[in-house]
Chain A
Amino acid sequence: MSTLGRILLVEDDPKDVELTLTALDEYNLANEVVVARDGEEALDYLYFRGNFMRRAGENPAVLLLDLKLPKVDGLEVLQQIKTDEQLKMIPVVVLTSSHEEKDMVASYRLGVNAYVVKPVDFHEFVNAIKELGVFWAVINEPPPGSIKKK
């Protein structure tokens, strides 16, 4: 897993991963995606630990973060990123099933850049993912130290 990726997708559900990748594929962004299956793996990626010890030195342009994750949950990952001087500039988008207001409030408190509830409707879901991918990975100018557009 040493692929260069502009998008770090942190998602434990393989079906969600597949649907997300399918959506991003329409804009040829699927191969830009690095998938972490839990919070620990996401942090390993960001801190060059474990499987990601030898990955390239830049930060992802955006992090798509599920909240309900095994081991280290999404809010903990978010907190870690936003309190780390090296990582706090990475745009983080929470992508979750949860409509719960307390999750949303907690995320914004921790400094999340966007909060998206995954729509049940596939078209809406695809549109949401595509727009997110395009906006953060293509349109948005990422902070210094991020992977640049090819």
Chain B
Amino acid sequence: MNQAGIEPQAMVQSKPKLSRLLSAIQRYGLAVLSVSLALGAALLLNRYNFHSVADPLFLFAIAISVWYAGPGPAILALVLSSFADSYYFIEPLYSISITRDDVPHFVIFILFALLLTWYSTLRQHAETQLRQARDKLEIEMLERTQQASLLNLTHDTIFVRDMSDVITYWNRGAQELYGWTAEEAIGKRAHELLHTVFPKPIEEIHAELLRSGRWDGELEKTRSGGTQVAVASRWSLRRDDQQRPAAILETNNDITERKRREHEISKLNEELGKRTAELESINKELEAFAYSISHDLRAPLRHMAGFTELLRKNTASLLNEKSQRYVTMIMESAQRMGNLIDDLLAFSRIGRAETHKTMVSLEQLVQEALAEVRQDAHERNIVWKVGGLPAWYGDRSMLRLALVNLIANAVKFTRTRSQAEIEIGCTDHKQNQVVVFVRDNGVGFDMKYVNKLFGVFQRLHPPEAFEGTGIGLATVQRIVHRHGGKVWAEGLVDQGATFYFSLSKSMESNL
């Protein structure tokens, strides 16, 4: 009897047809084999005059079959055993027919075998179920253990409390945040331990928790050391199998720092709002101021100029040369003040006006500026050199004004040249920046005064040499700054000057 060495067959498998067939052959083969071995053993023992061992041996073979191969092979083993028993061991020998006297013996054998088969099948079924249940339990336990250690790993503060607020679970995050160890915390009432301050009555919170299964809000709690901590708290309700509330899982995140920053930010915002309002009112005042200058300051100037002119006309024959010169000087001063006011207003308008940026062709703008400037310089001998310029993003009228100012400057300061040369082009054209220049061969300037060039009302030449209010380059600078660019200049006394401005590609307007 060495069937014990045969591996038990997997009984429930969803394998392909062939392997299922093979498995059936193996199982039924086992039944045939065990009956054959039992028969062999019985015959052998019979020879040595050990009688009545055939039935137990056959029953043993049936038991092996049912145990390892299942009920089907067991039935086959039973049938085979019955035939073998009847043929070899029941009178008449070597015939499958049996006498009337042997029927009870035979029936008892079959019933006992069936009982054995039924019992074994039941047992095996029970064992399979038991094993499956055990496997499931093991997997579940593994998962639970992993979950618990994961909960411990997280930085979040997690604890569980039952419906009477007693803490039943306390992770490492909770220990780190509140200072209590799990041993200290578990078993205590959570809100008492942490001195929880609720934003609204606890009854309302519980009502919401029971209704939706969740609640979240901001809570104030106290650490073991006594310091306060603000937390973003999320509660989840766990229910038992009968759907009764069983426990509350609470997750806390420390938002003390965030709250502090929020508070700071809101304070800063408030201040910013105040300052913006102040600035706005100052801007409005400034605008009203500029408007009033435009209106009210120019009127008396006009009167001074007008009546002085009338005075000169009416007294032409009465005034001596000196007095006439005084009259002329009054008029010139009025005129000059008028120009200054106009320029100052234009300059302030560039600072106040909103920029309307679009894609503009710098080349076309240069042509327009040239056309405007040339009107006043048609009797001059000027050699123009205009290079290629890209299209750029900017405020059309402002950039045009900047170019007009630079080109008019070049025309003005080359006045002393018999042949003026003015070149306009771009030196540097990168992805996000373009540098435009206007170069002339005029009177130039001393580089030690380069810082004064772009100041308001700054002039490097006496008015009798070159007229002007000194606002042109300041205007250029303001325009370029509002485009996020820079202005600079290079020059030498009597050797000409070059003015550069860069424009950056940023789409946002800069002040």
Contacts and interface: CB of A to CB of B under 8 A. Distances in A.
A125 interface: yes
A51 B349 CA distance: 42
Interface residues of B, number: 23
B30 interface: no
B373 interface: no
A19 B295 contact: no
B302 A97 contact: yes
A13 B335 CA distance: 20
Given A120-B305, A122-B306, A123-B309, A99 B342 contact: yes
B247 interface: no
A96 B331 CA distance: 21
Contacts of A122: 302, 305-306, 308-310, 331
Contacts of A98: 291, 294-295
Contacts of B294: 97-100
Interface in A87-121: 96-101, 118-121
Interface string B287-304: 000010011101101110
A68 B295 contact: yes
Contact of A19 (B291, B306, B339): B306
A15 B303 contact: yes
A22 interface: yes
Given A19-B306, A99-B342, A99-B345, A120 B301 contact: yes
A16 interface: yes
Interface string A1-25: 0000000000001011001001000
A49 B309 CA distance: 38
Contacts of A15: 299, 303, 306-307
Contacts, number: 57
Contacts of B310: 22, 122
Contact of B334 (A19, A97, A100, A120): A120
Given A15-B307, A99-B342, A118 B302 contact: yes
A16 B295 CA distance: 13
B179 interface: no
Contacts of B213: none
B335 A121 contact: yes
Given A99-B294, A120-B334, A125 B342 contact: no
B37 to A, nearest CB: 116
Nearest to B303: A15
B71 interface: no
A87 B306 CA distance: 33
B29 interface: no
Nearest to A20: B306
B285 to A, nearest CB: 16
A109 to B, nearest CB: 18
Contacts of A22: 306, 310
Nearest to A23: B306
Interface in B70-127: none
B331 A13 contact: no
Nearest to B337: A120
Contact of B291 (A100, A121, A123): A100
Given A99-B294, A100-B291, 17 more contacts: A16-B302, A19-B306, A19-B307, A22-B306, A97-B299, A98-B291, A98-B294, A99-B345, A100-B294, A101-B349, A118-B298, A120-B298, A120-B302, A120-B305, A120-B339, A122-B309, A123-B309
22 contacts: A13-B299, A15-B303, A16-B299, A16-B302, A19-B303, A19-B307, A68-B295, A97-B299, A98-B294, A99-B342, A100-B294, A118-B299, A118-B302, A119-B302, A120-B298, A120-B302, A121-B335, A121-B338, A122-B302, A122-B309, A122-B331, A125-B305
Interface of B: 291, 294-296, 298-299, 301-303, 305-310, 331, 334-335, 338-339, 342, 345, 349
CB-based closest 7 A-B pairs: A120-B338, A122-B309, A122-B306, A15-B303, A19-B306, A97-B298, A122-B305
